[in-house]
């Protein structure tokens, strides 16, 4: 039976929605999570959790489990074939988690769902939010079943095409780039580094190569026309034209593949009365740097704390601070991803010059540390 009332309704049960809900349950608030999908995702676009995100997820007690299930990597590198242009290390960063954790989004979702259930929460599926009305002291969410849930606040965590954001009258302007992303999980017969995430700035274009905990590798390439179902020959061509040269890795299996367009958008505002935006409902950008899910999870933890203060004291200043500060961080992250994407897609004749300049800049410790902190999520620390 669908609950008729809760402190907060969270629409969307991806990583962001689950994290918000777990944070609220930890604070002792009632929360209803609804999702239009019949079950959670079993495929994965996001696959990395950065140090600052691990720090914040510690608040709800899931970081240890995520690290156990993931693959810890201390190194990231911008490469041109076999040459390291910009080595980036996380080992010396000022954090309890001086590494990135490679873990499929589906596993992250499962860990967050299990934690939510431990805290007495659940996800209602499959229910789509179709209506929203607001009053001075709350909001009502109408589901496609006809049920209506009354809440003091509503969190839109329902993705880039958020229904709740549209119903709340919030805009998310921006651009759709003339690039698409090809995402392929592969098995290879050696030849790829297992101890780093590599960002290949090749003459043919950008290729990200990231090892995953099960021994597969995630390939992400920015291309002009990505195939809907990338096959083994396509994955092999990506590695041959953009990846390492000396080791000549051979693809033996394509485990999974997908494609998507690159959007650069951020909501004008993160709050409209009793409605708050988080995750892809608030911002979306290029996957360069692996920042998307991380930014959304940091939204979630900050928002859960701010909602708890508002629910407990009636003081909404933390909600306003969340809306302003999280949007500012999104603008910073989108700018970083934009710079990486633009740099990777310079006109082909300029790419050798670009790599020469990067190679010189990458020798500076300041460059390496600054880039590491940007990726880690704490550029000012």
Contact 9, 155 (CB under 8 A): yes
Predicted confidence (pLDDT) per residue in 152-200, tens digit: 999 999 999 999 999 999 999 988 877 788 999 999 999 999 999 999 9
Give me the pLDDT at residue 41, please. 67
Predicted confidence (pLDDT) per residue in 205-218, tens digit: 999 999 999 999 99
Give me the pLDDT at residue 44, please. 63
On the question of pLDDT at 128 being above 90, the answer is yes
Contact 319, 310 (CB under 8 A): yes
The helix/strand/coil state of 289 is coil
Give me the pLDDT at residue 2, please. 84
Predicted confidence (pLDDT) per residue in 227-285, tens digit: 999 999 999 999 999 999 999 999 999 999 999 888 899 999 999 999 999 999 999 98
On the question of pLDDT at 326 being above 60, the answer is yes
What is the Cα 338 distance to its own chain's centre?
15
Q: Distance (Å, rounded) from C-alpha 276 to C-alpha 271?
A: 5
Give me the pLDDT at residue 69, please. 98
The helix/strand/coil state of 118 is helix
Predicted confidence (pLDDT) per residue in 366-378, tens digit: 999 999 999 999 9
Give me the pLDDT at residue 42, please. 57
Give me the pLDDT at residue 178, please. 74
Please report which confidence band the pLDDT of residue 45 belongs to, taking 50, 70 and 90 as the band edges. confident
What is the pTM (predicted TM-score) of this model?
Answer: 0.94
| Average confidence (pLDDT) over 104-122 | 96
């Amino acid at each position: 039976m669908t609950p008729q009332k809760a402190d907060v309704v969270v629409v969307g049960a991806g990583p962001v929605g689950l994290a918000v809900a777990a944070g609220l349950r930890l604070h002792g608030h009632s929360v209803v999570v609804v999702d239009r999908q019949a079950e959670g995702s079993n495929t994965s676009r996001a696959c990395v959790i950065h140090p600052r995100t691990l720090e914040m997820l510690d608040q709800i007690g899931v970081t240890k489990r995520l690290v156990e299930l993931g693959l810890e990597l201390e190194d990231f590198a911008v490469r041109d074939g076999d040459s390291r242009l910009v080595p980036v290390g996380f080992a010396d960063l000022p954090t309890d988690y001086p590494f990135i954790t490679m873990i499929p989004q589906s596993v992250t979702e499962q860990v967050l769902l299990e934690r939510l259930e431990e805290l007495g929460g659940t996800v209602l599926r499959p229910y789509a939010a179709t209506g929203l009305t607001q009053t001075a002291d709350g909001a009502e969410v109408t589901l496609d079943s006809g049920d209506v849930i009354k809440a003091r606040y509503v969190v839109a965590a329902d993705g880039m095409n958020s229904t709740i954001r549209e119903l709340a009258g919030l805009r998310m302007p921006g651009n759709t780039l003339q690039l698409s992303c090809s995402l392929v999980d592969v098995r290879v017969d050696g030849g790829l580094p297992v101890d780093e995430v590599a960002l290949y700035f090749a003459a043919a274009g950008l290729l990200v190569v990231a090892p995953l905990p099960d021994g597969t590798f995630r390939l992400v390439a920015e291309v002009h026309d990505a195939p809907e179902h990338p096959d083994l020959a396509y994955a092999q061509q990506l590695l041959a034209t953009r990846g390492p040269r000396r080791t000549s890795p051979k693809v033996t299996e394509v485990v999974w593949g997908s494609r998507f367009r690159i959007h650069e958008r951020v909501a004008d505002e993160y709050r409209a009365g009793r409605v708050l935006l988080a995750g892809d409902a608030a911002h979306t950008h290029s996957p360069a740097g692996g920042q998307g899910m991380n930014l959304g999870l940091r939204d979630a933890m900050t928002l859960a704390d701010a909602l708890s203060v508002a629910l407990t004291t009636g003081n909404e200043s933390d909600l306003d601070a969340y809306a302003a500060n999280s949007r500012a961080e999104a603008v910073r992250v989108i700018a970083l991803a934009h710079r990486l994407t633009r740099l990777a897609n310079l006109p082909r004749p300029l790419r050798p010059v670009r790599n020469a300049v990067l190679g010189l800049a990458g020798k500076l410790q300041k460059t390496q540390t600054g880039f590491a902190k940007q990726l880690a999520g704490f550029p000012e620390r």
